[in-house]
Amino acid sequence: MKLAADRLLGIVLTGLAAFIAVQALRLNVPISYDPVGPKAFPLGLAILLAMLSLVLVFKPGEDGQWPHRALTLKILLVLGVMLIYALLFTRLGFIITTLMTVAMLARIFDASWNRALITGVVMSVGSFFLFTDALGISLPGGYWLETWF
C-alpha cells in the first residue's frame, strides 16, 4: 500500500514542480539589478523538487507504518503555521511574521515560551539583516510600519 502512496505522491509532486517551473518562467521584471533575475531561485527549486519526486516514483520506500497521532498533529500544525505565515507576510512584515512563526514552530516542538521567543527574535532580526544588508534583498516591512514611518 505504501508503495502506491509513494508513487502517487511522487507524481503529484512532479506536477507541482512543473507548475512552479511554468510560473517561474512567466516572471518578468522590467528592471532587474541581478544578472540572474528572479527566475533562477524558483526554477532551481522546481528542478530539485522534480528530481526528488521522481525518486519517489521510480524507487519508492519500503512498506512502513503511518506516523502516530501526536506526530500527525504536529505536522498539521506546522502546515497551518506556514500557511498563516504566507498569508500575513506582506501585511505584518518580515520581522513580525517570522518572529511569530519561529516561536510557534519552537512551541510545537516543545520549547519553552522563553526559548521560543528568544529564538524567534534572534532568527527574525538576524535573517532580516542578512537578507537586506548582506544579500541586498528587500523584504516587506508590513503595513503597520507605514503609519510610523
Tens of pLDDT, residues 139-148: 777 666 656 5
- The predicted-structure confidence for 72-111, as pLDDT tens digits, reads as follows 899 999 999 999 998 888 888 888 899 999 999 999 999 9
What pTM, to 2 d.p., does this model score?
0.63
**Helix or strand or coil: residue 88?**
helix
Round to whole Å and give the CA distance between 93 and 86: 11
**Number of Cβ atoms within 10 Å of the Cβ of 12:** 12
Q: Can you give the pLDDT at residue 144?
A: 63
Distance CA(45)–CA(29), nearest Å, equals: 19
69: nearest Cα among 77, 60, 61? 77
